[in-house]
Amino acid sequence: MAAGACWYSESRDAFIREESTAVVSTLANSATSRGWHIELEQHAEWVASVQTLQGSGERRRTEAVDVIQEALRSPELSELTDVILEYDFRRRGLRIDCVLTGPGVVAVLEFKRSKLAAADRDQVMHYCISLMEFHEETQRLASDGDVVVVPILVTTREGARTVMRAPTTFHRKPWGAVLSAPVECGRGDLTVALEHALTLRRSRHPVSAHTWQQARFSPSSTILDAAISLFGQHDVSAIGEHAAPARLIDTCVEEVQRQIRDAADSATNRIIFVSGAPGAGKTLVGLKLAFSSELRSDAVFVTGNAPLVDVLSLALKKSYQGLPGSTRGLAATGYALEDVHQVIRNSTFKIVKAHKFLGERGKRTGSSDGRVVIFDEAQRTYEKGRLVARQVLEDHEADLVLSSLEESYEGGAVVVALLGHHPALNTGARGMSAGFDAAKRRGWDYSVSDATLAQLDPASAEEWAQHPRRLGLQTGHLAHSMRFYRNKGVEEWAHEVLDGEPSKARTVAERLGADGNTLWLTRDLDHARAWVRTMRVGEERMGLIASGQARRLAAEGLFVDLKPPVDHWMLAPSGDVRSSNMLEVVQNQYQVQGLELDYTVVCWDADLRRSAGDWASFRIRGAGWNRDSATDVAKNGYRVLLTRARKGMVLFVPRGDLSGLDATRTPAFYDGVAEFLLHCGAQSMASEPSP
């Protein structure tokens, strides 16, 4: 039978007795009912898989479920009582191949058709860690019943000579119920692998498969997870304590959609302003609108964050096109094979770089983008005369966006302006008032909430509140952060550090440390690398990040001017030399703004240092450092760097040149920074890092 969050669930005995065609029919019907398109190759895979699962002994294919049945026929595995196939992972449209349950054990099986690689190990470990972190019944079973979670990785490659790997140690806390590494085997060794899993049990606590699959499973989503899931019309999950902010986001999206319909019906042009605190979900609102079934053919998501566009575009392609020859990649998409290339091509019009959007729109006669433009970080639009993409803006950027829509539509055009808190990352950005000024000059209606207007100075707020073209908006401001739940206080800590408030920062750091989120500092880059490598599990991301002006980190082997492609840096798996997980190349604040990693090494150079009891910024010009007046820009660059980690961060401050020969690396530059950060509550890392 099909039930809950999976496509198939039955007892072991019933599963063995059932005809293979009936099992495949259940899988196909479950997929269809959820809106998935099933390829013929996927159908054949299920047929072959189920036949072997039911003990036919026929090994005509190297397919996933094919192998499980052969194993389950073994009397030694009679304690594995239930079979769950294609469990919805609630992220990116992914599904776990198979979960087998029995007294004292939850076995998570993932099948691969090729030689097993580091990325495959990361994937199945990531599934298990996420179940422990976000699946309520798995948490209960582990804490109350001492049930273990065992990842098992199987290659179904014909003729593959795979050495059986059977680890026996478990992970560190808080993942102590999860085996530290996957059990690995070939198709002929799954029985032995499952027998090994049973020997690892600590109890015989009963596991109800029905209760397990019906339990709440709400993994926290990064912006990449959200975009990929929304593009494929899947759920975007959030952990329980974010339920209220998530409902507010949904309410905001619904109200904005109603306003967009009203603008179309009345043939009037309109700007809709949506503001929010850092991490409150403004970008998620924009993506939900852009990828909604109602607007996806008539909206474009525009952002000035070029690296975010590159990463999202590659992430969509990887998730919805699949790697060459990867049937599972195609089966997971929900799109027919002939539709995949069209879907990906269309997606480039969904998420575009702001200045490319303006440039290409001006070259068209009649835009194909649609009448709804969702402009992320709209407060950062540039002023008239600014040099952008080697061209001088003929008008304010906000006005150019409105005029481009007016040229294509006689009425009913809408700009959804997503407004952040406008940190000074670049000069020439006009702030929140840019959109209001443009609407006034061009005669557009605008919808804005009182809470959004309250962020302006009182005189401006009063002016725009009383303007005759102003329309109300009830849920136009998102006040509560949706940042990862273990990292709430880091933004507050960074704020106090950069504002020069060490006592306040130390109070925040102590609170974080009490919750197990210590802020670490080291003077040794190798120690920093070792710490994040020790902490990272599964598909978690780690990476080196630094200021774009941190040019003397070159002495440490870190070259901030190198700027490797951030899309591969963010998405390539472990073992790929382009991956952030290799901890070899560094990205700057402009490249990682709007993105997050699980663990970061923040590399601090002398471009921002302590001087006369305050922060002072410097730039390399010619032979050495020169004092720079844009200290706020430098501080906000470090603010971005200090808030990129979802789970853990270590600060690396070099020791400088102890020989005294290199004046650009005077130890005092770095000692002052390190001492201040320690005074702010960062903890000095021991010579040997530990979890």
pLDDT in tens, 3-12: 457 778 889 8
pLDDT at 87 over 60: yes
Which H helix or E strand runs over 351? strand 351-353
Whole-model pTM over 0.85? no
Most confident of 483-487, 538-542, 555-559: 555-559
Does residue 359 sit in the same domain as residue 469? yes
The average pLDDT across 242-254 equals 78
> What does the pLDDT read at residue 420?
77
Does residue 144 sit in the same domain as residue 71? yes
Does residue 531 sit in the same domain as residue 399? no
pLDDT in tens, 603-632: 999 999 999 999 999 999 999 999 998 999
pLDDT in tens, 270-306: 999 999 877 778 888 888 888 888 887 788 888 767 7
pLDDT at 119 over 70: yes
Q: Are strands 351-353 and 183-186 parallel, antiparallel or unpaired?
A: unpaired
Does residue 545 sit in the same domain as residue 612? yes
Does residue 526 sit in the same domain as residue 613? yes
> What does the pLDDT read at residue 357?
59
Number of folded domains that form the chain:
3
Tokens (6 digits) for 465: 């509140």
Does residue 158 sit in the same domain as residue 296? no
Is residue 48 within 8 Å of residue 56, measured between CB atoms? no
Does residue 496 sit in the same domain as residue 638? yes
pLDDT band, residue 524 (cuts 50/70/90)? very high
pLDDT band, residue 322 (cuts 50/70/90)? very low
- Which of 498, 480, 396, 391 lies closest to 441, judged by CA? 396
Tokens (6 digits) for 605: 């150079």
Domain boundary among 478, 495, 521: 478
> What does the pLDDT read at residue 117?
87
pLDDT band, residue 85 (cuts 50/70/90)? confident
How far apart, in whole angstroms, are the C-alpha atoms of residue 229 and residue 225?
A: 6
Looking at the domain assignment, is residue 285 inside a domain? yes
> What does the pLDDT read at residue 276?
85
Chain centroid to Cα 242, Å, comes to: 16
> What does the pLDDT read at residue 482?
64
Looking at the domain assignment, is residue 450 inside a domain? yes
> What does the pLDDT read at residue 188?
85
How far apart, in whole angstroms, are the C-alpha atoms of residue 160 and residue 114?
A: 8
pLDDT at 323 over 50: no
pLDDT in tens, 380-417: 777 777 766 666 777 787 888 888 888 888 889 999 99
Q: What is the mean pLDDT of the chain?
A: 80
Q: Calculate what percentage of the chain has a pLDDT beyond 70.
A: 75
Does residue 444 sit in the same domain as residue 593? no
How far apart, in whole angstroms, are the C-alpha atoms of residue 100 and residue 482?
A: 34
Higher pLDDT, 255 or 281: 255
Does residue 98 sit in the same domain as residue 121? yes
> What does the pLDDT read at residue 180?
92
Q: What is the CATH number of the domain that holds 464?
A: 3.40.50
How far apart, in whole angstroms, are the C-alpha atoms of residue 195 and residue 152?
A: 12
Does residue 467 sit in the same domain as residue 492? no
> What does the pLDDT read at residue 434?
83
Does residue 469 sit in the same domain as residue 503? no
pLDDT in tens, 563-601: 889 989 998 988 899 999 999 999 999 899 878 898 999
Most confident of 163-167, 177-181, 281-285, 423-427: 177-181
pLDDT at 40 over 50: yes
Most confident of 71-75, 101-105, 340-344, 395-399: 101-105
Which H helix or E strand runs over 249? helix 243-266
Does residue 466 sit in the same domain as residue 542? no
Domain boundary among 156, 187, 214: 214
| Host domain of residue 601 | 485-684
The average pLDDT across 657-677 equals 96
Looking at the domain assignment, is residue 55 inside a domain? yes
pLDDT at 350 over 60: no
How far apart, in whole angstroms, are the C-alpha atoms of residue 272 and residue 398?
A: 13
Residues 6+ apart with CB under 8 A from 254: none
The average pLDDT across 459-486 equals 82
pLDDT in tens, 188-247: 889 999 999 999 999 999 999 999 988 888 766 566 666 655 555 545 554 445 556 678
> What does the pLDDT read at residue 39?
53
> What does the pLDDT read at residue 292?
84
Looking at the domain assignment, is residue 79 inside a domain? yes
Looking at the domain assignment, is residue 319 inside a domain? no
pLDDT at 544 over 50: yes
